[in-house]
Structure 1
């Protein structure tokens, strides 16, 4: 029943984007045209897991690859598949193919959902970090900013590592300096 992670088929981008809409607050992902444009970026990849028939998208992992680490910007599984081990299986496959440290962002552990997400990643071997930042509003919507914390796989993140990775993420992923300027 295991399905492998593969690069998304370009014609399936709208399936990925639809799942983003169902899985993330709007300020945490770009408008469709800007998100689609990322597919041309050499450091950006979307891995997909398709159903065994190949007809539907089970979930995806959107990755930015840097010299010393990978940054998972988005990871989502279809709502009807959540709680059935699909997400754990997808992330284990991803971690097995990653040859570098892997970073993800999670919301502060102040809601039940945020705490469940943190525990999910901890069960997979991620380490919850004391380091974090306010994620830029990717739609410039003026909505409430989101405070995020970093989780790192497979080892804890040091402060110098965090500062360097934050700088690279803000420049490459968010297109701005750490002060929030474009």
Structure 2
């Protein structure tokens, strides 16, 4: 059973948001209304993998499209389906359909979970950069999340990092660097 990624149907926002809340720390998730408003942004797309019944979402990739790269802000599989290869299938499907470099953020490799995530992305062709930053606080809690960028298919140069970081902070985080 191979369900392809497709744009999230607006009426399925709550299915997507439920998986997001179950998959990410609170500091990394916008409030519901702010996240819902992103569906109106031209540069933002949630690619959903719908279940065979089309009534549930197995997982999603939330993407920001820039002129010269794509940025995966969130990527998650429903908790009950993890460990079955769905995430790898979704990522391969996603990468096959793009002709731009793809960036994503990972936490510093200081925990076993962070190391497993980095290993997962490396197995799928991403390169861990030595460049990182503190993610802007999406909920204004004062919490800090140290992140590093990974890029597919080639490594990120320092010049590309600065340019792409500035673009991400401006569009995704609504911050000027």
Q: Which band: TM-score by shorter chain?
A: over 0.9
1:80 to partner: Cα distance: 1.3
Q: Residues 108-133 of structure 1, C-alpha deviation per residue, up to 9 Å, x if partnerless?
A: 00000000000000000000110110
Q: Which residue of 2 aligns with 1:162?
A: 161
Where 2:176 maps in the other structure, the secondary structure is coil
Q: Which residue of 1 aligns with 2:59?
A: 59
Correspondences of 1:5-154 after superposition (within 5 Å): 5-142=5-142, 144-154=143-153
- Matches of 1:136 and 1:26, distance apart in 2: 13
- Matches of 1:10 and 1:118, distance apart in 2: 31
1:141 to partner: Cα distance: 1.6
Moved over 6 A (4+): none
- Matches of 2:68 and 2:95, distance apart in 1: 15
- Matches of 1:155 and 1:120, distance apart in 2: 16
How many residues are matched? 177
Where 1:67 maps in the other structure, the secondary structure is coil
- Matches of 1:149 and 1:134, distance apart in 2: 9
- Matches of 1:80 and 1:33, distance apart in 2: 26
Q: Residues 80-126 of structure 1, C-alpha deviation per residue, up to 9 Å, x if partnerless?
A: 11111000000000000111000000000000000000000000000
1:33 to partner: Cα distance: 0.4
Where 2:138 maps in the other structure, the secondary structure is coil
Where 1:59 maps in the other structure, the secondary structure is strand
Q: CA RMSD in A?
A: 0.6
- Matches of 2:140 and 2:49, distance apart in 1: 30
- Matches of 1:71 and 1:55, distance apart in 2: 27
Unaligned regions of 5+ residues in structure 2, if any? none
Q: Residues 18-65 of structure 1, C-alpha deviation per residue, up to 9 Å, x if partnerless?
A: 111100011111100000000101100000001111111100000000
